[in-house]
Structure 1
């Protein structure tokens, strides 16, 4: 079913869109699109700094606010309660109001939530601020995908997605030394104020700079033509010039591809969240790493995965440029990455700690190879630009679901006391293979309105 120019679509109440473009210089193509993706990568890094601030400051907070280790665990997890819940409405709101407005509102919201932590006087206040932070950060991934879909042609979309995703890894890595330094200088309360202020500074730059390609005066006509002719999902072209209307949010769930995006990302989330949750315990208690060795060698998989993330995005885009059909250009790195990530199971029977680290690094890098293609899928299958963020929110909900399921199942399997980490890592590896199945055989890389609905 196709959505044509009828105003009976999901956005009939929206005002008519202006397609008038500002005057631009001709000549050599400008490169403003890369500046735009760096801008959202910075926002993602700030989001992860604010998200990780509590982990670094929690010991200092525990001494002053006097709460137990059990409550500390609840406090550290509370962010994800609202972050997971608001993935779905967050994506819809980005599509409804556009990335420029929603990104600014989201960053202001979570920056206030971060800074307000400095005013808390007890456990309940910290929980409230973390819940606010989760709501504010929920639209980030959806807004990033929408920006990339607007500003990049298909043959550059996977690498651009890898760039903004690297912001999360950079922010996580930077948070530890930055917040530690701030606590030493201004205390834990001051650290929340400073990191919260970073987002507000970014919002000013965002509102001054960000526009869609046709409305951005720094982008010349050659770059706009390059984006749109290469498959960039600009609203002016598809909703204005072509008159195509967005698909209703509920209708997105009529297609097997939508459900497969959730299922595949859930499987991938299991292994990603292993490295966030149980990974240090595996190295210390299973492989015998000392705390010093954990600090020296524990970062190797994550650092290598940052490089693999970029290489995976470049590989997918290279396939597109050499004429590989788009479905294959996305599925090849996805399936290779997910199957390769199943090597995590070998870490449980590694002959030495060094070999265990090798298998873990190979697994994490393989999962990272799939990132660029995976984050490009919502833009590839969305019927219109105003469905991209909604599909991204739906897909990202799957990742959070994997983050909830994985640590619980692994903990349960460890609790059985049999074979230590063998069954937990076999479970994680099996989920990777299952995810590869969904991406290979269920996901269809073409607009949903060109696919056959399930019902």
Structure 2
């Protein structure tokens, strides 16, 4: 969208438009969000009493759980965490490929001009938006069928990452822009279906006092692909 705005209005107005959208959303968020339920005008007294009761029960349970919580180092050595980190590395590898090489691929390989490229590159991300919204729903449906929480997460990760990689590979064999964009869009769809699953796994298997550290570790491994991915792909 930014590329199209830059062509239509110039690069300075394009940046100003994006800036204005952010400011508008900040103002909207300021008025609709609150720091706590008791400060939100749309939370009734009955709801507030229920929330406080549940919070007291959770705090009591957390006190007991904290006494037996494993260390962060324990979790970082668990196979499920290491495999999830590797899966997120693969996720980011494909993602950074799209961010760094997909526009250049359309221009150099399929000879699109900048305007055509800007419009064409919107398509995969629109499809990806749908995939991201469906990811948790699909995982929960599989869980309802199998009754096995981690299995439902694993199925989504394995199947969708394989499909995303397959579509990227096939896109390199086509000779026209339409099938290339179609394959890339399908790839982004499957990739984004997995977007929330990594963090769902962390919530499922890690004590909440260690979730931040485990999530940071997975982000660290995933971010490495942002360094090596574009270099390896370009080479």
TM-score range, shorter chain: 0.7 to 0.9
Aligned residue in 2 for 1:426:
none
8 Å CA contact retained: 1:235, 1:385:
no
Distance (Å, rounded) in 1 between the aligned partners of 2:225 and 2:31: 31
Aligned equivalent of 2:196: 372
Cα deviation digits, residues 153-185 of structure 1 (max 9, x gap): xxxxxxxxxxxxxxxxxxxxxxx96x43377xx
Is the CA contact (8 Å cut-off) linking 2:86 and 2:221 kept in structure 1? yes
Shift of 1:323: 4.3
* Equivalent residue, structure 1, for 2:17: 181
Q: Quick check: 1:264–1:398 contact (8 Å CA) kept in 2?
A: no
CA contact (8 A) 1:239 1:245 kept: no
Q: Provide closer, same or farther for how the CA distance between residues 237 and 284 of structure 1 changes in structure 2, counting only shifts above 3 A.
A: farther
Given the alignment of the two structures, is residue 277 of structure 1 paired with residue 105 of structure 2, yes or no? no
Cα pair distance change 1:395/1:218, threshold 3 Å: farther
Structure 1: how far apart are the matches of 2:87 and 2:102?
22
Residue 399 (str. 1) matches residue 222 (str. 2): yes
Q: Measure, in 2, the Cα distance between the counterparts of 1:219 and 1:306.
A: 34
Give 1:393 deviation, angstroms. 1.4
The residue that corresponds to 1:34 in the other structure is none
State the TM-score, normalizing by the size of structure 1: 0.42
Question: Is residue 87–residue 157 contact of structure 2 (8 Å, CA) maintained in 1?
Answer: no
Q: Which of the residues 314, 320, 339 maps onto 2:162?
A: 339
Mapped to 1, the partners of 2:31 and 2:217 lie a distance apart of: 25
Deviation digits for residues 187-236 of structure 1, max 9, x if unmatched?
A: xxxx7xx859939x74994424499xxxx9845649987x9xxxxxx952
Q: 1:359 to 1:273 in 2, by over 3 A?
A: same
- The farther-off stretch of 288-297 and 373-382 is 288-297
- Would the aligned equivalents of 2:92 and 2:225 in 1 still touch at CA under 8 Å? yes
Is 1:198–2:29 an aligned residue pair? no
Q: CA deviation at 1:310?
A: 1.5
Cross-structure match for 1:296? 119
Deviation of the 1:410 alpha carbon: 1.7
1:259 is paired with a residue whose SS is helix
Instruction: In structure 1, list runs of 5 or more residues that go unmatched.
Output: 1-51, 61-175, 184-190, 228-233, 414-455
The aligned counterpart of 1:187 is none
Residues 296 and 253 of structure 1, relative CA distance in 2, 3 Å threshold: closer
* Rounded Cα–Cα distance in structure 2 between residues aligned with 1:223 and 1:308: 35
Shift of 1:299: 0.5
Separation of aligned partners in 2, 1:224 and 1:283: 56
Give the corresponding residue for 1:353.
Answer: 177
Which residue, 139, 142, 145 being the options, matches 1:319? 142
- Distance in 2 separating the partners of 1:314 and 1:406: 30
Query: Deviations along 1:86-113, whole A, 9 cap, x unmatched?
Result: xxxxxxxxxxxxxxxxxxxxxxxxxxxx
> In the alignment, what sits opposite 1:381?
205
Question: Which structure is richer in relative contact order (CA contacts within 8 A, separation 6 or more)?
Answer: 2
**Secondary structure class of the residue paired with 2:111:** coil
Q: How many residues align?
A: 220
> How far apart, CA to CA, are the structure 2 residues paired with 1:304 and 1:369?
10
Unaligned segments of structure 2, at least 5 residues: 40-44
- 2:37 and 2:48 in contact (8 A); partners too: no
Change (3 A) 1:279 1:252: same
> 2: distance between equivalents of 1:210 and 1:320?
34
Partner residue, 1:308: 131
Query: For the structure 1 residues 202 and 223, does the alpha-carbon distance in structure 2 shift closer, same or farther, using more than 3 Å as the test?
Result: same
* Residues 256 and 267 of structure 1, relative CA distance in 2, 3 Å threshold: same
Aligned pair partner of 2:152 in 311, 319, 329: 329
